[in-house]
Amino acid sequence: MNTTKPKSNQMPVGSVQSDHITLNLLKANDFVAKAIRERLPKNMLIVNICSSPGSGKTTLLQETGKRLGKELNLAVLVGDPETERDAVRLKDAGLNALQIVTGGMCHIEAQMIYQALDHINLENTDILFIENVGNLLCPSAFDLGEDARVTLLASTEGDDKPKKYPRMFLTSELMLVSKADLLPHVPFSVEAAAKDAREVNPDLEVISISTLNGEGIEDWCNWLKEELEKKRNKTT
């Protein structure tokens, strides 16, 4: 769980940064992210879910709602450049969901989340998911007030993404290898992807999942419940 400096300040190995001469252009976003943390209940877990387009974020949240919906109160803020299709899918699955249309922007910023909080009822919510815009680059720099960031890497994308987009994996607590049912049919090595990702972020957890056959979904749900318990234990 994120208890260190803002995501915007975390840099991959080999990057050069000096607080004395570099203006942090994301400082305003970090200020709003801090305001989000102060505004939301201390016993609510906020999870920022990131990935490339089509990696299965919405389908995973639908399945998560089926598995945990009777046990926990779940809500989702869904980011997309256009349309409300994903929010409609999640509502049809029984989830409390609100669409954030970014108007072509390739990521969600903290101010969008802060404004959206006025339009969604989060009373008694246990976990608030933020489904970020599909992109492994831009969202990595923007702290949204989350407790944990989760990045999906689909087996159809190739296992070289952690080194190509290191900041996303550096700033994540968990990597989900999605569409694991396709692993026998695609040139993707979970071991290679995990090795590269952990060279970027040694603390990164890795779970392989498939919403089609259910592989790893119980582990994912248990991870969420453990993170929720950790946060609540810290606030008591």
| Closest to 63 measured CA to CA, from 77, 51, 76 | 76
Average pLDDT over residues 200-219: 98
Q: Which one is predicted more confidently, 9 or 179?
A: 179
The answer on pLDDT for 22 being more than 50 is no
Q: What does the pLDDT look like over 91-122, one tens digit per residue?
A: 988 899 999 987 767 789 999 999 999 999 99
Q: Is 189 helix (H, G, I), strand (E, B) or coil?
A: coil
Q: What does the pLDDT look like over 125-171, one tens digit per residue?
A: 999 999 999 899 999 999 999 999 999 999 999 999 999 999 999 99
* Residue tagged 């999906």 (tokens): 152
Instruction: For CA atoms 130, 135, 136, 139, give the dihedral sign.
Output: negative
**Cβ neighbour number for residue 70 with a 10 Å cutoff:** 8
> 206 and 181 in contact (C-beta within 8 Å)?
no
Mean pLDDT (the chain) is 90
| Alpha helix stretches (DSSP H) within 117-152 | none
Describe the strand order of the beta sheet including 45-50 as a list of residue ranges: 96-101, 74-80, 127-131, 45-50, 148-154, 174-178, 205-208
Give the CA count within 13 Å in the CB-facing half-sphere of 199. 13
pTM greater than the 0.85 cutoff: yes
* Residue tagged 């550096």 (tokens): 170
| Closest to 49 measured CA to CA, from 202, 176, 209 | 176
Least confident stretch, 38-52, 102-116, 149-163, 217-231: 102-116
End-to-end CA distance of the chain: 17
CA–CA separation, 33 and 136 (whole Å): 20
Strand partners, 101: 80
Here the tokens at position 207 are 């779970």
Instruction: For CA atoms 66, 118, 81, 5, give the dihedral sign.
Output: negative
| Alpha helix stretches (DSSP H) within 93-216 | 110-116, 161-164, 166-170, 190-200
Domains of the chain (ranges; CATH) run 26-235 (3.40.50.300)
216's torsion region: left (phi>0), alpha (psi -120 to 50) or beta? left
CA–CA separation, 98 and 87 (whole Å): 6
Q: Which one is predicted more confidently, 219 or 104?
A: 219
> What confidence tier does 235 reach under pLDDT thresholds 50, 70, 90?
confident
Q: What is the pLDDT of residue 105?
A: 74
Q: What is the pLDDT of residue 63?
A: 97
| Closest to 235 measured CA to CA, from 75, 47, 38, 72 | 38
